[in-house]
């Protein structure tokens, strides 16, 4: 049995996919940590003393990310102020178990934990969404809501930088998906370690006393060069406590075909994964306006972000459905403006919103469907090019459309909510 | 006739769902396979599918009679690629771990 190529004493336990070197467990975990540290330092990812929220799902990627960042922060004296940030989608029997894993990680690592729920942000838990619309298409809602939820949660904490556990396999999958769909502008965001940068144009929305606005949160993925295989092996050799399951609402969407292709390529030639990542980065440089695309609409990054969530290709495969839904809602809006539909507009789940207002100091966080603005403004927004970065006219989130996807989806949900339910909610406020 | 080989088999990363939601299984398998060859990991995988798996979603574990790409196999805590993959001949009290990398959190 061949010994470790690094220490030359211990038994080799890991065949590293990118180099095919044979190393022992301790040498592997040390090398893995050193490589993540190198990624962070060469890209100048963090400022000394920066407050950083780790998007923590309780799954393998974010569990490893939290453990490695905490280890490196102590080892290298980076003085980062790390906090775990979890999103509670409100899925009984799924998220409640993974949140328990996050709580154990929080205790083990000694990092504070903040949990924000869809219920408090949007007035709807995923269980309620599914009760309303059924299981079909619910991943669209979950993905759109999740994207904003991390930014809103970070702003609640006053943290301007969120790191997520996206790995090299996720990035390679996204590169392939974008190639297959001919969507080259999106390659830039998929392959950038920093996926959205605070934009000067929206700084005016920063709260008083330098508070962080949810439109101004930096996103990055420090593990984007780390193989999924090595993340799982790191968790195994460090005996990290993570939770793995399928979302109960998308059990069949276990992995998409692009993922299967990636894993088949890895078996034949493990270097393929990082080669695809590198190819994506090189191609992104050739695409015009990639800089804008990179800084551009946070919302269109939803496709990429969904990979870290329910772990399937739904964010991409449901694009058509999303477009159809937006079209339908816009038709409704038009009908309303034409006076062909007479519906009394009520604030979305008023009781909920008000309870939330009392409980938090940052009033800008929850989305509440505001009064419809004048047609003039909507018209102006509709005339702008789709890729141009703007802000949602209802909630203020970065959006390439006049109304962001989350607000479009919420409008559909709130309209469909049984009237008695709204009355009960309204009378409580 | 040779005795059976006692083994510890472990399923993690979501694979435990296929095996009665139980992570660690103490099992024993015949020392020789159907062709009277010493039992190897390939034979163990077939044995697990035929005898231990309680869930119909076999394709989450095995595709075309081999381990699904994205499922890692550890033989006594080492990558099975370092040990000869499915041709590794099982020894008494070996510890075989199957870890899925395919499940999200
Ligand atoms: Zn070593
Ligand atoms: Zn909005």
| Confidence check: pLDDT of A123 > 60 | yes
Radius of gyration of chain B (CA): 13
Q: Distance from A267 to chain B by nearest Cα, in Å?
A: 7
Residue A339: its pLDDT value, please?
Answer: 41
Report pLDDT for A236.
95
Average pLDDT over residues B26-49: 94
Residue B2 CB contacts under 8 Å (≥ 6 apart), including other chains: B31, B32
- State how far residue B105 is from chain A, nearest Cα, in angstroms: 4
- Mean pLDDT for A200-221 is 61
Expressed in angstroms and rounded, the spacing between residue A425 Cα and the centre of ligand 1 is 62
- Measured CA to CA in angstroms, residue A139 lies from A169, A353, B102 at distances of 21, 24, 18
Give the C-alpha distances (Å, rounded to integers) separating B31 from A323, B3, B7, B11, B97: 59, 6, 11, 22, 19
Q: CB pairs below 8 Å between A and B: how many?
A: 87
A61 part of contact set with chain B, CB < 8 Å: yes
- Please indicate if any CB of chain A lies within 8 Å of the CB of B56: no
User: Given CB atoms, is A63 within the 8 Å cutoff of chain B?
Assistant: yes
Between A397 and B29, name the one with better pLDDT.
B29
Q: What is the pLDDT of residue A388?
A: 58
Q: In this complex, do A15 and B82 lie within 8 Å of one another by their Cβ atoms?
A: yes
pLDDT digits (tens, 9 = 90+) for B9-27: 999 998 998 999 999 999 9
**Amino acid A313: pLDDT:** 35
Q: Give the pLDDT confidence of A317-351 residue by residue, as tens digits.
A: 344 455 555 555 555 555 444 443 333 333 344 33
Out of A247, A263, A310, name the one closest to residue B70 (CB): A263
Closest CA to A212 of A174, A159, A289: A159
Helix, strand or coil, per DSSP, at residue A67: helix
Ligand that comes closest to the CA of residue A411: 2
Ligand nearest to the CA of A367: 2
Q: Which domain holds residue B56?
A: 4-100
* A94 vs B8, higher pLDDT: B8
Per-residue pLDDT band for B54 (boundaries 50, 70, 90) equals confident
Asked if the structure places residue B84 within a domain, the reply is: yes
Predicted pLDDT of residue A362: 38
pLDDT tens track for A54-84: 999 999 999 999 999 999 999 999 999 999 9
Q: Given an 8 Å threshold on Cβ–Cβ distance, is A25 in contact with B77?
A: yes
Task: Give me the domain span that covers residue A104.
Answer: 25-313
Q: How confident is the model at residue A96 (pLDDT cuts 50, 70, 90)?
A: confident
CATH number for the domain harbouring residue A131: 3.40.50.620
CB contacts of B13 in chain A (<8 Å) are 60, 232, 244
| Residue B71 belongs to a domain | yes
Q: How far apart are CA B65 and CA A119, in angstroms?
A: 45
Tell me which of A88-97, A284-293, A365-374 is least confident.
A365-374
Residue A290 has pLDDT above 60, yes or no: no
Q: Is residue A224 part of a domain?
A: yes
Least Cα separation, residue A135 to chain B (angstroms): 19
Q: Minimal Cα–Cα distance from B69 to chain A, Å? A: 5
Which region holds residue A289: left if phi is over 0, alpha if psi is between -120 and 50, else beta? left
pLDDT of residue A398: 77
In a domain, A46, yes or no: yes
What tens digit of pLDDT does each residue of B72-82 get? Answer: 999 999 999 99
- CA-based angle A305:A49:B105, to the nearest 5? 25
pLDDT > 90? residue A291: no
Distance (Å) from CA A123 to ligand 2 centroid: 14
Contact in structure between A98 and A165 (CB atoms under 8 Å): no
- Put simply, the answer to whether B78 touches A263 (Cβ < 8 Å) is no
The CATH code of the domain that includes B33 is: 3.10.20.30
Q: Is residue B75 part of a domain?
A: yes
| pTM of the predicted model as reported, rounded to 2 decimal places | 0.80
The answer, for A266 touching chain B at a CB cutoff of 8 Å, is yes
Work out whether strand A194-196 and strand A218-220 pair parallel, antiparallel, or are unpaired.
antiparallel
What ligand has the least distance to the C-alpha of A406? 2
- The residue behind tokens 């805590």 is B77
Q: Does B100 touch chain A (CB under 8 A)?
A: yes
**Separation between Cα atoms, residue B80 and residue B77, nearest integer Å:** 9
Q: Please, what's the largest Cα pairwise distance for chain B?
A: 47
What was the pLDDT predicted at B46? Answer: 95
Q: Are A157 and A83 in contact (CB under 8 A)?
A: yes
> Comparing A305 with A58, which gets the higher pLDDT?
A58
Q: How far is the CA of A68 from the centre of ligand 1 (A)?
A: 19
Higher pLDDT, A288 or A46: A46
Q: Is A222 on the interface with B (CB under 8 A)?
A: no
| Residue B66 clears pLDDT 60, i.e. is over it | yes
The residue of chain B nearest to residue A99, with distances taken between CA atoms, is B105
Q: What is the pLDDT of residue A2?
A: 84
- Domain count across chain A: 1
Q: Is B105 within the bounds of a domain?
A: no
* Facing residue for B69 by CB, picked from A1, A231, A267: A267
Taking CB atoms and an 8 Å cutoff, what residues of chain A touch B99?
232, 236
Query: Is residue A360 in a domain?
Result: no
Q: Pull the structure tokens for residue A175.
A: 């590169």
The residues, any chain, with a CB within 8 Å of residue A246's CB and separated by 6 or more, are: A254, A310, A311, B14, B103, B104
CA dihedral A403, A407, A412, A415 (to 10 degrees): -100
Residue A361, classified by CB atoms within 10 Å of its CB into exposed (0-12), middle (13-18) or buried (19+), is exposed
B62 and chain A in contact, CB less than 8 A: no
Classify A76 as helix, strand or coil.
helix
Which ligand ends up closest to the CA of A7?
Answer: 1
Cβ of A308 under 8 Å from any chain B Cβ? yes
Q: Which residues of A touch B82 (CB under 8 A)?
A: 1-2, 12-15, 22
């Amino acid at each position: 049995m061949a010994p470790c190529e690094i220490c030359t004493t211990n038994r080799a336990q890991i065949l590293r996919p990118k180099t095919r070197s044979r190393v022992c467990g301790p040498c592997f975990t040390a090398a893995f940590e050193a490589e993540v540290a190198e990624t962070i330092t060469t890209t100048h990812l963090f400022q000394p003393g920066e407050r950083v929220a780790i998007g923590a799902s309780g799954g393998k990627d974010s569990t490893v990310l939290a453990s490695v960042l905490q280890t490196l922060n102590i080892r290298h004296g980076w003085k980062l102020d790390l906090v775990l940030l979890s999103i509670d989608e409100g899925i009984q029997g799924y998220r409640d178990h993974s949140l328990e894993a996050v709580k154990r990680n929080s205790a083990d690592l000694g990092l504070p934990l903040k949990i924000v729920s869809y219920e408090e942000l949007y007035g709807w838990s995923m269980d309620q969404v599914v009760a309303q619309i059924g299981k079909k298409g619910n991943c669209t809602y979950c993905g759109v809501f999740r994207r904003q939820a991390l930014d809103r949660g970070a702003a609640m904490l006053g943290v301007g930088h969120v790191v997520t556990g996206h790995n090299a396999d996720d990035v390679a999958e996204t590169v392939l998906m974008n190639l297959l769909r001919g969507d080259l502008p999106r390659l830039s965001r998929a392959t950038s370690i920093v996926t959205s940068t605070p934009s000067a144009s929206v700084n005016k929305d920063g709260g008083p006393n330098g508070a962080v606005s949810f439109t101004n949160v930096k996103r990055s993925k420090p593990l984007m060069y780390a193989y999924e295989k090595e993340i799982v092996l790191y968790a195994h050799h460090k005996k990290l406590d993570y939770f793995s399951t399928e979302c109960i609402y998308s059990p069949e969407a276990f992995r998409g075909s692009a993922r299967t292709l990636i894993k088949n390529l890895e078996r034949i030639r493990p270097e393929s994964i990082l080669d695809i990542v590198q190819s994506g980065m090189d191609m992104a440089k050739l695409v015009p306006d990639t800089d804008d695309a990179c800084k551009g609409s946070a919302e269109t990054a939803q496709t990429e972000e969904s990979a870290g969530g329910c772990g399937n290709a739904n964010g991409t495969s449901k694009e058509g459905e999303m477009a159809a839904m937006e079209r339908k809602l816009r038709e409704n809006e038009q009908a309303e403006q034409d006076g062909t539909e007479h519906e009394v507009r009520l604030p979305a789940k008023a009781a909920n919103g008000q309870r939330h207002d009392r409980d938090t100091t940052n009033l800008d966080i929850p989305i509440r469907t505001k009064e419809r603005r004048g047609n003039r403004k909507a018209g102006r927004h509709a005339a702008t090019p789709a890729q141009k970065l703007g802000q949602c006219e209802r909630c203020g989130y970065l959006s390439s459309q006049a109304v962001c996807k989350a607000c479009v989806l919420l409008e559909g949900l709130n309209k469909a909510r049984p009237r008695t339910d709204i009355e009960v909610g309204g009378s409580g406020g | 006739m040779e005795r059976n080989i006692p083994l510890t088999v472990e399923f993690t990363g979501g694979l435990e769902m296929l095996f009665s939601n139980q992570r660690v299984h103490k099992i024993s398998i015949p020392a020789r396979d159907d062709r009277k060859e010493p039992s190897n990991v390939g034979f163990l995988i077939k044995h697990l599918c035929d005898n231990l798996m309680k869930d119909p979603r076999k394709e989450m574990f095995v595709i075309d009679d081999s381990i699904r790409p994205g499922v890692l196999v550890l033989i006594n805590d080492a990558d099975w690629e370092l040990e000869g993959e499915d041709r590794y001949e099982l020894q008494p009290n070996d510890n075989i771990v199957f870890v899925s990398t395919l499940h999200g959190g």
